[in-house]
């Protein structure tokens, strides 16, 4: 055998050995996408870029019951995909059976939400996730205990290594992975989206509903409007705003005032997205309205006055029965059936 052949053989062996060594995998970045009309005012913290392995881990953690003190609850107990990540209840029960003081919020299009919770107290999804995981009347377990439980499970150290570069499981990494998964929960394929993209012809009622939603009443010019877009914004049907929407003249829950201490924030709550709204009953921070008809009736006839009532709700809308039905038709257009059946958001444990 010539020296050249020996050398080639050695080289080949080295190549094979190198290929078999456990390479330190670099997480693959994921570029999230959404329609142009959503705009790019998104919140993606530099310290937690979304990656394939981070999202996969976050999805698993979202459905992981070991994250609750009783091993009986996961995030999806209250945030069920089929209901646009709500649970249909007025108040959800925690691991200890105690009810929450406010209604569970939907998890659609959180990329555009800067201040989370009904009162806006959390500035990021990472910060937000700590509360449901650790609060006594929610999942009721410290992040340290949660991390230790996962560390003992066979599969998790490798999943954390893939997502974050080492086997170490920490509370910080748990909330980061959850936040990455939540950022992927983009709902942008409703009939309204198809209409905006020129692929769907709305019915007469839907078309009237769209007009009413965006228009403001102008009696002098004979224009009827419900002015919903003041707070519910453009095609996202969401703006980062806090308003007192006139539920009570003396609010039982002070809302944002509890966070800021400012008198003018009394009874103010974060404006909710209307995406998938037909799936997220009951409505309002206290889940007082069982259906969308009651919500429309509220804005039309029952707004309660107070010092902090939104300036956009000072005049009653007094919608006709026809107008209410048209608005309702528009709200139903916002249901995104692909969002609630998307396998990427489903329970990964069901496939194991």
Partner 1 sequence: MIKNCFLGLLLLMGINAIAQQKPVVKVSGEVARPLTLYPENLRQMKRTTVSLKDRDGNDHAYTGVPVQEILEQAGVTTGKTLRGENLSKYLLVRCADGYEVLFSLAELDSSFTDRVVILADESGGQPLPAGKGPFRLVVPGEKKPARSSFQVTDMIIRFAKD
**Residues near partner 1, by CB under 8 A:** 115, 120, 239-243, 254, 257-258, 260-265, 268, 307-311
98 vs 145, which CB is nearer to partner 1?
98
Question: Cα(336)–Cα(138) distance, rounded to whole angstroms?
Answer: 28
Nearer to partner 1 (CB atom), residue 11 or residue 44: 44
Beta carbon of residue 101, minimum distance to partner 1 (angstroms, whole number): 12
Half-sphere CA count of 111, side-chain side, radius 13 A: 22
Q: How far is the CB of 316 from partner 1 (least distance, A)?
A: 17
Q: Minimum distance between the CB of residue 269 and partner 1, rounded to whole angstroms?
A: 11
Of residues 174 and 313, the one with the C-beta less far from partner 1: 313
Which is closer to partner 1, CB of 94 or CB of 255? Answer: 255
Least distance in angstroms from the C-beta of 133 to partner 1: 26
Write the CB contacts of 114 (distance below 8 Å, at least 6 apart in sequence): 43, 123, 240
Contacts of 110 (CB under 8 A, 6+ apart): 116, 125, 182, 183, 185
Closer to partner 1 by Cβ: residue 70 or 249: 249
- The distance of closest approach from Cβ of residue 14 to partner 1 in the complex, given in angstroms and rounded to an integer, is 46
By C-beta, is 190 or 244 nearer to partner 1? 244
Query: Coil, helix or strand for 348?
Result: helix
- Cα-Cα-Cα-Cα dihedral sign, residues 119, 121, 127, 133: negative
Of 53 and 265, CB closest to partner 1: 265
Closest separation between CB of residue 109 and partner 1, Å?
A: 16
Closest separation in Å from C-beta 242 to partner 1? 5
Whether 160 and 173 have beta carbons less than 8 Å apart is answered as yes
Q: Provide the minimum distance between the beta carbon of 196 and partner 1 in the complex, in angstroms, as a whole number.
A: 24
Place of tokens 């299009």: 109
Closest CA to 136 of 97, 166, 170: 97
Kindly tell me which of 229 and 254 has the beta carbon lying closer to partner 1: 254
Q: What are the residues facing 289 on neighbouring strands? A: 283
Q: Is 231 helix (H, G, I), strand (E, B) or coil?
A: helix
Per-residue DSSP letters for 182-230? HHT-----SHHHHHHTT-----HHHHHHHHHHH---BGGGTB----THH
Between residues 145 and 254, which has the closer beta carbon with respect to partner 1? 254
Supply the minimum distance, in Å, between the C-beta of residue 255 and partner 1. Answer: 11
- Tokens standing for residue 61: 């953690």
At residue 21, the 3 state secondary structure works out as coil
Closest of 206, 231, 212 to residue 319, by C-alpha: 212
How many helices (H) does the chain have, and how many strands (E)?
13, 2
């Amino acid at each position: 055998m010539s020296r050249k052949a020996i050398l080639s053989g050695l080289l080949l062996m080295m190549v094979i050995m190198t290929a078999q060594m456990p390479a330190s995998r670099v997480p693959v970045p994921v570029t999230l996408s959404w329609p142009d009309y959503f705009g790019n005012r998104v919140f993606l913290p530099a310290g937690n870029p979304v990656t394939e392995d981070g999202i996969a881990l976050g999805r698993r953690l979202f459905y992981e019951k070991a994250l609750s003190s009783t091993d009986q609850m996961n995030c999806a107990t209250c945030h069920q995909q089929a209901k646009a990540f709500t649970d249909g209840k007025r108040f959800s029960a925690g691991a200890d059976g105690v009810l929450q003081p406010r209604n569970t919020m939907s998890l659609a299009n959180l990329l555009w939400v800067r201040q989370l919770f009904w009162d806006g107290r959390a500035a990021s999804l990472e910060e937000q996730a700590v509360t449901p995981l650790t609060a006594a009347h929610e999942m009721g377990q410290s992040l340290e205990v949660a991390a230790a439980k996962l560390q003992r499970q066979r599969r998790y150290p490798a999943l954390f290594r893939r997502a974050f570069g080492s086997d170490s499981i920490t509370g910080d990494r748990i909330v980061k992975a959850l936040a990455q998964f939540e950022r992927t929960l983009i709902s942008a394929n409703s009939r309204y989206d198809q209409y905006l993209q020129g692929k769907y012809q709305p019915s007469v009622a839907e078309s009237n509903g769209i007009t009413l939603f965006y228009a403001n009443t102008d009696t002098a010019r004979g224009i009827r409007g419900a002015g919903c877009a003041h707070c519910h914004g453009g095609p996202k049907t969401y703006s980062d705003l806090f308003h007192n929407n006139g539920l009570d003249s003396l609010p039982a829950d002070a809302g944002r005032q509890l966070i800021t201490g400012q008198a003018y924030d009394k009874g103010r709550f974060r404006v909710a997205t209307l995406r998938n709204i037909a799936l997220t009953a009951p409505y309002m921070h206290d889940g007082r309205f069982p259906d969308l008809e009651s919500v429309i009736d509220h804005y039309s006839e029952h707004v309660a006055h107070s010092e902090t009532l939104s300036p956009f709700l000072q005049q009653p809308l007094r919608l006709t029965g026809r107008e209410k039905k048209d608005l309702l038709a528009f709200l139903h257009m916002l249901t995104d059936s692909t969002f609630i059946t998307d396998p990427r958001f489903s329970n990964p444990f069901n496939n194991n």
